[in-house]
Amino acid sequence: MNFPDNLKYTKEHEWISVNGNQATIGITEFATSELGDVVFLEIETLGESLSTGDTFGTVEAVKTVSDLFMPVSGDILEVNPVLESTPELVNQDPYGKGWIIKISVKDAAELNNLLTATDYKNLVG
């Protein structure tokens, strides 16, 4: 299983990649293995300002439907348009083409509350 060192992680299995004050968010490879095949994503928060822990959408897989949570506070700038027609990219390339949203980060200090790759790997075993 892949745990890229350049990302930060949440206990709820989201990852975040930060570039300046913008960030890309998706779900981890571990999450996709637990969910099974992703068949649909519902993200209706485009343009909204959300806080850490707020739900920004849902992911529907063959096994279950799960909420998606904000790793840090921010404004939703973009939703991955490719996932509407190809949701399986979340399974195939969770850290690349399967990203879910892009945000502007409100408080970079919140990133210090997230898990490192080693911490996350230890969490999921």
Residue 117 lies in a domain: no
* Mean pLDDT within 67-83: 98
Q: What is the rounded distance in angstroms from the CA atom of residue 36 to the CA atom of residue 61?
A: 6
Specify the CATH number for the domain of residue 37: 2.40.50.100
Q: What is residue 17's predicted lDDT score, i.e. its pLDDT?
A: 98
Residue 120 lies in a domain: no
**Mapping DSSP to helix (H, G, I), strand (E, B) and coil, where does residue 25 land?**
strand
How distant is the alpha carbon of residue 49 from its chain centre?
A: 16
Helices (H), 14-100: 29-35, 89-92
Residue 125 lies in a domain: no
Q: What is residue 125's predicted lDDT score, i.e. its pLDDT?
A: 86
Q: What is residue 87's predicted lDDT score, i.e. its pLDDT?
A: 97
pLDDT, the chain, mean: 96
Q: What pTM did the predictor assign?
A: 0.96
Q: How many domains does the chain have?
A: 1
Range of the domain at 41: 8-106
Residue 60 lies in a domain: yes
Q: What is the rounded distance in angstroms from the CA atom of residue 30 to the CA atom of residue 46?
A: 26
